[in-house]
Chains A and B, each alone.
Chain A
């Protein structure tokens, strides 16, 4: 396995009333070639900001803090400036954004927008860029791609637009594809198609995929590993099968309990009480403590990521008792 992305102790800060707040606070993960890592969490947990930080696109006045590391192969992303930074955007990491309705420029045809990505990174002629755009449209499964090349975004459905977004993200042939809630804005039936396109492309091109979602349902059978985020931190990380078999962190258990199950006995859903506190209002110690049904005295100190099983770690002192997953 080739390591393509290494993120260590990523911290993103924003200025607040008095000092700075850290919506992303010490996130570490890595991605291998051909692998899908799902980053799961509620809105406001810092998962989108994490993905933007990978390309140094954190909107000002936010910034990535000293001591964070983002390595793309042997490129130190945080040391790049100007032109060098632009060369990795799109080329090393391609991004698919959440809302296909606003992620395409309304005044250009989809062919132009895909070709723009090609021409931004490769010295090819207009005609060649257009030919590649056509190929990409075909690759993401758009019917009648020749006609669609000259369509404007508003002439396409949401699912089609998201396919176009994927084609744009692929236009510079990146080794990593970051998909930030790629299906949230789409109908359920279209969701499945888009996810299939992503899976197929990953397998064919050997890309690594970082799938950011709040939906555990789309993670199963698709991601190799899952990282669950809460309040700016990764609270549990595990191979997908292990996580589904034995969700260990009380927050992860809460997430599973709030999703209806199709198989098994009909049970009352138990949502997690309260909501993610905003950055700056995080409690000391374990950040899930105020909402946690299993909090105990030790939760008042921040737990590190503790081993639960092979490749399976969680940020909870319950791991020491060896009874994680009992709940």
Chain B
């Protein structure tokens, strides 16, 4: 078994890892499959009489102020929120891994330049940078939202991967690969990258929780996913005005956020301990 599979297996034996992994998988499955069987999240079946209905058999999570089914919206919103989170994190991980590999293996001036860039970028508060861009750019499409979140989230990962590469490149298997005639690119992507997979996966898993919170926050401020498309943060924003009359319209998307972030963090923590037991 290779070390990544080994770490995953150990994380799975950890109760936190198993609970987190299962809940995360359940949320992802609900988000992926829910919209196929649930009512249209934008449909307003009966505009006057179906507003703010409490949970019932017909509407398990109730209806919102515009008489839309909250369960359908939580599922559809989850699809968007989770897609944003996974894709943005994938982008961050890719950018961070590439930067870290180049900086760590090339070293010298390239390393210094890239790391000063990372230092500078980390000095800018991410949330305010995003708020600024999104406030200026109204009605931002979801794809741009993913690109923006992904492009501002890789700095820490870059540093992490660089540190791993600095350690790994002193290992004699790198020397052995060089002695066998492997090119720099081959050493970076075939020999070093797979050896950083486990810490990279830990960072990405913990990053998923962060990005879900970030996206929910932005959407709550009306700057993230744009209505009428449902998102968890946006649903809480909508529910704010009817918080007393229809608390379920805000509670269920809130619960979805809490459960998803919690499971991502649980799984990430277990995975981190499995990768590096000393850091527990």
Contacts and interface: CB of A to CB of B under 8 A. Distances in A.
Say whether A associates with B. yes
A57 B175 contact: yes
A57 B191 CA distance: 17
Interface size class of A (residues with CB under 8 A): 20 to 34
A172 interface: yes
A91 B181 contact: yes
A95 B176 CA distance: 7
Contacts of B175: 52, 57, 97, 103
Contact of B172 (A93, A103, A171): A103
Contact of A102 (B3, B4, B173, B180): B173
Nearest to B2: A107
Contacts of A105: 173, 177, 191, 194-195
B179 interface: yes
Contacts of A152: 1-2
B197 interface: yes
Nearest to A97: B172
Given A88-B181, A103-B175, 8 more contacts: A86-B182, A89-B178, A90-B180, A94-B179, A97-B175, A116-B180, A117-B181, A121-B181
B183 A106 contact: no
B180 A104 contact: no
A90 B173 contact: no
A107 B179 contact: no
A103 B177 CA distance: 9
Interface residues of B, number: 22
A117 B179 CA distance: 10
A116 B191 CA distance: 11
Contacts of A88: 181
Nearest to A101: B172
Contacts of B173: 102-106
A106 to B, nearest CB: 6
Interface string B1-20: 11110000000000000000
Given A103-B176, A168-B176, A87 B171 contact: no
Nearest to B4: A107
A55 interface: yes
Contacts of B197: 107
A243 interface: no
A212 interface: no
A99 interface: yes
Contacts of B4: 107
Nearest to A92: B181
Candidate in B2, B4, B173 with the most chain A CB atoms within 10 angstroms: B173
Nearest to A95: B179
Given A106-B3, A107-B3, A98 B172 contact: yes
B176 A108 contact: no
Candidate in B3, B172, B181, B191 with the most chain A CB atoms within 10 angstroms: B181
A120 B180 contact: yes
Given A86-B183, A105-B195, A57 B172 contact: no
9 contacts: A86-B182, A90-B181, A91-B181, A94-B180, A97-B172, A103-B173, A106-B173, A107-B197, A116-B177
Contacts of B107: 60
A165 interface: yes
Interface in B159-180: 171-173, 175-180
Contacts of B3: 106-107
B197 to A, nearest CB: 7
B181 A89 contact: yes
A57 B177 CA distance: 11
A108 B189 CA distance: 13
Interface in A165-187: 165, 168-169, 171-172
A296 B73 CA distance: 94
Nearest to B180: A90
Closest 6 CB pairs of A and B: A89-B181, A90-B180, A95-B179, A90-B181, A86-B181, A103-B172
